[in-house]
């Protein structure tokens, strides 16, 4: 899959938090590399969550309060 470049504007608080994370957990990596890793881990977790079927409520668990 080809890579796509994006531009992300972060506030000062987010940049400070990212820099702390980089300095404590990812020494030697750039902000960009760490953001790529964060997004990749998030995407993998989302794919795993979507692979788990949602069984929903069983018929005997249904009642007026959860009927929508």
**All structural domains of the chain with their residue ranges:** 7-50
Q: What is the per-residue pLDDT for 19?
A: 96
The phi and psi torsions of 36 (rounded to 5 degrees) equal: -60, -45
- Alpha carbon separation from 17 to 11, 31, 40 (Å, rounded): 10, 11, 19
Paired tokens of 63: 């009642």
Question: Which pLDDT score, from 0 to 100, does residue 14 have?
Answer: 98
What is the pLDDT, as a whole number, of residue 64? 83
Q: Output the pLDDT for position 35.
A: 95
Q: Under a CB-based contact definition with an 8 Å cutoff, are residues 41 and 26 in contact?
A: no
Q: How many CA atoms lie within 13 A of 24 on its CB side?
A: 6
Segment 13-66, tens digit of pLDDT: 999 999 999 999 988 999 999 999 999 999 998 887 766 677 788 888 888 888
Based on its alpha-carbon atoms, the radius of gyration of the chain, rounded to whole angstroms, reads 20
* pLDDT reading at 5 higher than 80: yes
Structure confidence at residue 4 (pLDDT)? 92
């Amino acid at each position: 899959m080809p890579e796509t470049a994006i531009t992300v504007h972060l506030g000062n608080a987010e940049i400070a938090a990212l820099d702390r994370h980089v300095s404590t957990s990812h020494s030697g990596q750039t902000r960009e590399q760490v953001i790529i890793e964060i997004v990749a881990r998030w995407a993998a977790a989302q794919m795993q969550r979507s692979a788990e079927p949602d069984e929903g409520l069983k018929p005997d668990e249904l009642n007026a309060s959860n009927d929508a």
